[in-house]
Amino acid sequence: MSVPVLGLKATTCAPITSAPLRTTRPLMAPVVGGPALAALGALGGRRLLTKLGVLLGLGTAAAMTEIGLRDVVPGANDNGTAVVALLALAEQLLAEPTDDLRVILLSVGSEESFSEGMKAFGERHFPHLPRESTFFLCMDSIGSPHLLVLRGEGFLKMREYPRRSLALMDGLAEELGIWLFPNLRLRNGTDGMEPLAAGYETASLCGCTDLKQPANYHWPNDIAENVDFGSVVDATRLSEAAIRRLEALAS
């Protein structure tokens, strides 16, 4: 029996302003690069390289400290929109339950602390969820002007999403007349990273602006008035279509 798990609370599409790029910049590289340079410099007796590593590490620490001192933002798009979609899906499934498919609507939180919530769910439940019949669909920042299905993601190593999962979501979007922003990969990580790395069929349904970033990402203006509710409706339609198609395939 297939078990779609609709997860949420994640990060999508950090800013890209160069049109040809299809992958976000590796924002976590300095976090690893600073200590690595300092260590290489120390081992090789190269003082300049050591100093560069220390400066890069201090700059990264200062940036993270500044982020930690900021006020919490409203988070309407990132990721209240996915909560709304889950509630709408719950209502639809109550009205029209699935017969041959178990659906888990999952809201784990803690994405900003490297997906601690999704990691905890995986540690507890992955051993009991068969990889051959389980499908994870992650939703994040779906109140942006354009919906998209991530082609791959990863902080340091890019992990490509399964072709079968992408084909399912792309095909359903085409059937529903929903345009998806094409061919984007993420150098951060959504909650979809955890089941993807564990070997499950997974797709991450996200949203972005024309600049390939989530609308109002981590800003105080991430409020309900600035959410594109048309995108939320389309994401909910697409997610329900995935559930119904998975049920048909499982029958």
pLDDT tens string 204-214:
999 999 988 89
For residue 91, what are the contacts with CB-CB under 8 A and spacing of at least 6? Answer: none
Report domain 3-19+73-250's class. Answer: alpha beta
pTM given for the model: 0.83
Domain ranges of the chain: 3-19+73-250, 29-69
CA dihedral 58, 62, 67, 68 (to 10 degrees): 90
First to last CA, the chain: 9
One digit per residue, pLDDT tens: the chain, 251 residues?
344 444 333 333 333 333 455 766 666 777 778 888 888 888 888 889 888 988 988 888 887 787 777 788 899 999 999 999 999 999 999 999 999 999 999 998 777 777 899 999 999 999 999 999 999 999 999 999 999 999 999 887 889 999 999 999 999 999 999 999 999 998 888 999 999 999 999 999 999 999 888 999 888 999 999 999 999 999 999 999 999 999 999 88
CA separation for the pair 117, 219 (Å, rounded)? 23
Rounded CA-CA distance 169/171 in Å is 5
